[in-house]
Amino acid sequence: MISRPDRAPVASEPSPAGLGGAPAAAGAHPAVIATLRQAIAAGGGRITFADYMATALYHPVGGYYLQAERRPGRGGDFLTAPEVHPFFGRTLARQVVECRERLGRPRPFVVREDGAGTGVLAFDVISGLADEAPEALDGLRYRLVEPNPHRRAEALAALAGSGFGGVVEATAPDAIEPFEGVALANEVADALPVHRLVSRDGALREGWVVRHGDGFGEEEGPLSPAMAAFDPAAYLARVGVVPKEGDRFDLSPAAAVWMAGVARSIRRGYAVVVDYGYQAATLYRDHRLRGTVRAHRRHAVTDDPFGDPGREDLTAHVDFTLLAEAAGREGMAPAGFTTQAAFLASLGLGDLLVRLGEDPGTTPAAYYAAQAAILRLVDPGGMGRFGVLVLAKDAPVEPPLRAFGVRL
């Protein structure tokens, strides 16, 4: 069985942020620091925040997500839903089963999981399939898409030891074969690079990263060529957002590119994207108009992204409207959008707890631990408000999928 990280508290939505800077801490990865300094020098004294974030997270030697050290869990920096309890993945498996039925039970039936990590979610989804629809394992290919080679190796070894090795394969994100089935992405898009924008005198300006003493800071400047090509003003107008003086936005063309890639890889099937964020009309308002970029380390959250590049996670709230548009250009249509709490409730998360309680082998400690985990997964002030976007390509969306049966 796959070993699981210890559980730890999950931070709620952090406080607003602004521009700032701080010296690079002693723990910052030296290879990341050197690369950033070289890039800033080569860029005439500045780089986009998207370039900074990409280097801090995905530098081939020192990037946060590519290092050998494991991050999630009690001793790490954050906790994701699959690590809270196996019920998350087992409930998600029920939606996978319904998608398979609507596709006519294709063979092979592929489940592509982006950001698969050590395979914890994969284990739970496959276990759920084995319980809910064991016939689905015949012809199943579970594809782990993970940029970190250390995590890919760990996942393959763990799943092989669990008895699921025969249905699992692992690949880097740039080696995806087209498939028929379901794509899963849990907390992937939030860690894709963003550009930071601010409204000044009726126009949008960009936040650029510069040297700030021995570390890094941010200053405003004109739009970068990448942002100018994206045309953020036109996008905001299209989604009905009218910026006011001083409003701040974090936009991620990289997330749109990633979503388009997922959509292109699906010949016929569904995509299920779970992350913290909102549709555009909700995302770009209220306190979030001060920026949503956050740094996570040791289960603490800060709005300063310049403290420990390479040693801390950097995230930004996901714009689900942007993802849906990108997928739409590749032939996918929305099948529904809801919260994680409603998604899990619709798929019968509570039934799993009832079943656990009826099992004579369940100890009181195990039952109450599962009960507490469920409350965390559906907490409207925490994980429960995460967004869930389901998209379909050449696949039925009517009647609505089971995931959209409950409104909370």
Model pLDDT for residues 185-202, shown as the tens digit of each residue? 999 999 999 999 999 999
Mean residue pLDDT of the chain comes to: 90
Strands (E), 155-245: 168-171, 179-186, 195-200, 203-212, 215-221
Two tokens, residue 44: 């005439």
Average pLDDT over residues 240-265: 96
- Whether pLDDT at 101 is above 70: yes
List the helix and strand counts (H, then E) for the chain.
Answer: 14, 18
What total number of domains does the chain contain?
1
Tell which wins on pLDDT, 390 or 79.
390
Residue 401 lies in a domain: no
Closest CA to 294 of 127, 57, 46: 57
Residue 394 lies in a domain: no
Question: What does the alpha-carbon distance between residue 251 and residue 48 come to, in Å, rounded to a whole number?
Answer: 12
Model pLDDT for residues 125-161, shown as the tens digit of each residue? 999 999 999 999 999 999 999 999 999 999 999 999 9
Residue 396 lies in a domain: no
Residue 366 lies in a domain: yes
Is residue 377 within 8 A of residue 384, CB to CB? The reply is yes
pLDDT of residue 17: 32
> In terms of residue numbers, what domain contains 185?
21-389
Residue 4 lies in a domain: no
pLDDT of residue 115: 96
Question: What does the alpha-carbon distance between residue 187 and residue 172 come to, in Å, rounded to a whole number?
Answer: 17
pLDDT of residue 351: 95
Q: What is the SS3 assignment for 393?
A: strand
Average pLDDT over residues 68-74: 60
Model pLDDT for residues 262-282, shown as the tens digit of each residue? 999 999 999 999 999 999 999
CATH number for 258:
3.40.50.12710
pLDDT of residue 408: 66
Question: What does the alpha-carbon distance between residue 327 and residue 190 come to, in Å, rounded to a whole number?
Answer: 17
Residue 405 lies in a domain: no
Work out whether strand 248-251 and strand 168-171 pair parallel, antiparallel, or are unpaired.
unpaired
Cross-strand bridge partners of residue 271:
183, 391
Residue 14 lies in a domain: no
- Whether pLDDT at 7 is above 60: no
Residue 97 lies in a domain: yes
